[in-house]
Amino acid sequence: MPAGGRPTVRSRRLGTALRRYREAAKLDQQHAAEHIVGSKTKISRIEAGQVSARPGDVRLLLELYGVEDRNVCRRLEQLARDSNKRGWWLNYPWATKEEGYADFITLEADATYIRTWQPLFIPGLLQTDGYVKALMDLSLMRHSPEDVDEMVAIRQARRQTIEEGGAQYAAVIWEPALTAPMPSRKVHLEQLLHIDNVAQRQNVSVQVLPFSEWQAAHLTSHFVMFSLGPEPAPEAVAYDTTTSTVILEDLEDMAKHARIFEALRSAALTPEQSLVFIRKAIQGISESEKGPE
């Protein structure tokens, strides 16, 4: 059974993929169960993500369903192996406090492509330690020093996802999130310098949506879109609420958010123009530091 006695995001992804391939092959659950010498209930629970499928069973089912793409087969067999793997984030109690947050980090860790739109905050994978601490200081919830240190440590580990050669990462950020005054010019300057540095990596693209692009900025609220295979087709979308992280996996939701993200990218400055914009903002903050804090 998946860790915690409930479906994990990995077991759900595997179950959903197996169900789609079975339905495409026009086979029922009983047929699949007989092929792996199991029960219909077992197939049902695997497809619901309630139990972890063994890699051998996954291999047999994909053969039955006529799936010949070796990349697909290897990916799903690996997903079966990883379904119960304990992620590094589970070592941090904070990661399990907010509903859906651990699943979000799992998607982030498994992703090959990550695309994010953020109109209010700096995207999580681009946040500096100082920015994280500033957000937690301003929260209406009281956080202990230990909570703050733990959240900073989680952010530090998450940033490795887009280290050079990691997941392909594209962020569109509305101008106010970058230019509105932060709690201190030091935090602001360090944050923009960090974005300037990260945006120069081969696997990272950062685009600024100008303040004037009001219509594009209001197409939707913030979201993160994940692709988990060799192709950039999205497989999950996530966004935060006040108390939880919501994850969408419906194909129509994927298509809608993919269209919105392309519209945002088209309305935004190019990556090259965005770097120029960010560097001008850095220069403005640096010059303002000559005056009183």
Measured CA to CA, the distance from residue 128 to residue 248 in angstroms comes to 27
Q: Please name every residue paired with 123 in a beta bridge, in sequence order, or none if there are none.
A: none
Q: How far is CA 249 from CA 9, 87, 229, 257, in A?
A: 10, 21, 15, 11
What is the structure's pLDDT at 213? 97
Measured CA to CA, the distance from residue 240 to residue 230 in angstroms comes to 26
What is the structure's pLDDT at 99? 84
Per DSSP, the three-state class of 170 is strand
The pTM of this model reads: 0.85
Which bin fits 289, alpha (ψ -120 to 50), beta or left (φ > 0)?
alpha
What is the structure's pLDDT at 104? 94
Per DSSP, the three-state class of 242 is coil
CATH superfamily of 3-82: lambda repressor-like DNA-binding domains (1.10.260.40)
Q: Which two tokens stand for residue 50?
A: 């309630």
Q: Which two tokens stand for residue 189?
A: 């300057």
What is the structure's pLDDT at 3? 43
Q: Please name every residue paired with 236 in a beta bridge, in sequence order, or none if there are none.
A: 226
Query: Over the chain (293 residues), what is each successive 10-residue block's mean pLDDT?
Result: 60 90 94 92 91 91 94 90 83 84 92 96 97 87 86 93 90 97 94 97 97 96 93 92 89 95 98 98 83 51
What is the structure's pLDDT at 231? 85
Q: According to CATH, what is the number of the domain 88-288? A: 3.30.870
Q: Where are the domains of the chain?
A: 3-82, 88-288
What is the structure's pLDDT at 6? 55
Q: How far is CA 225 from CA 57, 105, 135, in A?
A: 30, 12, 23
**209 membership: H or E segment, kind and range:** strand 204-209
